[in-house]
Amino acid sequence: MAKDEISHAERIKAAIDLKEPDRVPVLYPGSWAINFAGNNLNFIGKKEKDVSFSEWINNPDIFVKSQVKGCDRFNYDFVMGLGYSILPGALGCAENEPYWGIPSAVKTPIIKVDDWKKIDFPDMKDDFVKGKTTGKIQIQLEILRNISNVFEKRGSDAPFITGFITGPLTLAGFLLGVDKLMLSMIDSPDETKELINFCTDVTIEYMKKQFDAGADHIFTPDPTASGDLISAKFYKEFAYPAAQKQSRAVSNYKDKYAHHYHICGNTSDRWDLLESIGSSFISLDSVIDLKKAKDKIGKTKAIAGNLNPSGALLFGTETEVEKEGKEIIENVAPNGGYLLWTGCDWALDYPLKNVEMFYTLPKKIWSISNLKYIRFKVHSI
């Protein structure tokens, strides 16, 4: 097949509507897209790079060019407009920006849970001027504007442009510290809910700014809501109402196709809650049996996932990537409601051949119902 039969948007919407599109929609490569910055493709696996992570995320021109280059190369259905958490720093967390890795919060702005009242609502003024900005929120919005301008010229051939907001419980963990947040759910439940609600309101305002800047879609990871950290009971009491409020705000402000919600780790004890959050689709970690998830909630909720991000993609061969991906697609894609992704964010140094195979899979496994392979030639660099 020389080209896709329908547009990226039509394919994504069909999957979210639990229909079987022309092929499986495939998501962005997350932070791995940094390898399309500068000459980084020739530095995969090496300590030195042409463009560092810090350069990539702080320079809209470099970032946008890398995203466009990656999308042109692999023709994925979504393109990312900066894929890591901006809000902790904007709310007072001290951050560390490694040379090659995602920035991390190294110091919380509050010591006890009710100190959240001392935190100022972040400045979300849209005032980026090249070379001068009040913060990373403005860089993110500039990136979204510029990506939107590039793909707007392509009309129906444009991918979904994806913004990013942290899940409310996870953002609360950044501000207070995850350990303290866990204890505060027991010792100070009312104050903890106030903190989480504040975080929810912040994410909603940031989401609106991203849509205004050109995003079609929002990705929300909420790893602190994992079953590896809190029980289903605590998830239902503390995380679920906030996630539902956030997700409904996304659909009300944009549309029903605009929200991807993700929790890392084991979520099998809260699938019923995830099913009713209101997101467009949910993505599940590689520890989950995706077929079981599809059988359980796939009649009402589209699902994405879940190649092991630290398995064949990182350590294996392209043949092993193909085998793993083919098995997942065969188990989950029939009858629609499925989008291909990994179980979480991508390692920065996945071998290029493995990434090529990952993005070849949706087009190799063509007739989903019959699961017949077709020949597909991967574009050369």
Structural domain includes residue 211: yes
For residue 220, list its beta bridge partners.
261
Backbone angles phi, psi at 222, to 5 degrees: -135, 65
Whether the pLDDT of residue 381 is over 70: the answer is no
Stretch 358-373: mean pLDDT, rounded? Answer: 67
pLDDT of residue 3: 59
For residue 340, list its beta bridge partners.
26, 305
CA distance 293 to 301: 10
Axis-axis angle for helices 60-74, 136-152 (nearest 10) = 40
* Predicted confidence band of residue 285 (pLDDT cuts 50, 70, 90): very high
Structural domain includes residue 126: yes
Structural domain includes residue 3: no
Least confident of 154-158, 190-194, 237-241, 248-252: 154-158
Structural domain includes residue 1: no
Instruction: Report the domain count for the chain.
Output: 1
CA distance 129 to 284: 38
300 alpha-carbon distance from chain centroid: 21
* Predicted confidence band of residue 153 (pLDDT cuts 50, 70, 90): confident
Structural domain includes residue 381: no
- Convert 8-26 into a string of H (helix), E (strand) and C (coil): HHHHHHHHHCCCCCCCCCE
CA distance 276 to 271: 9
CA distance 60 to 53: 13
* Predicted confidence band of residue 196 (pLDDT cuts 50, 70, 90): very high
The DSSP result for 262-303, as a single string, is EE-S--GGGHHHHHTS--SEEEE-TTS-HHHHHHHHTTTSEE
Structural domain includes residue 2: no
The DSSP result for 93-128, as a single string, is -EEE--TTS--EEEE-S-SSGGGGGGSPPPP-----
Structural domain includes residue 152: yes
CA distance 268 to 265: 9
CA distance to 17, 81, 102, 288, per residue, from 220 (Å): 20, 13, 16, 19
Structural domain includes residue 380: no
* Predicted confidence band of residue 130 (pLDDT cuts 50, 70, 90): low
CA distance 221 to 164: 8
Write the pLDDT tens digit of every residue in 21-54: 999 999 999 999 999 999 999 999 999 999 999 9
Least confident of 121-130, 141-150, 238-247, 255-264: 121-130
Please name which of 202, 213, 303, 282 lies closest in space to residue 254, comparing C-alpha atoms: 213
For residue 259, list its beta bridge partners.
218
CATH number at residue 293: 3.20.20.210
Burial of 115 (0-12, 13-18, 19+ CB in 10 A): middle
Range of the domain at 261: 8-373
CA distance 155 to 159: 9
CB neighbour list of residue 352: distance below 8 Å, 6 or more residues apart: 35, 41, 44
Ramachandran area for residue 149 (φ above 0: left; ψ -120 to 50: alpha; else beta):
alpha
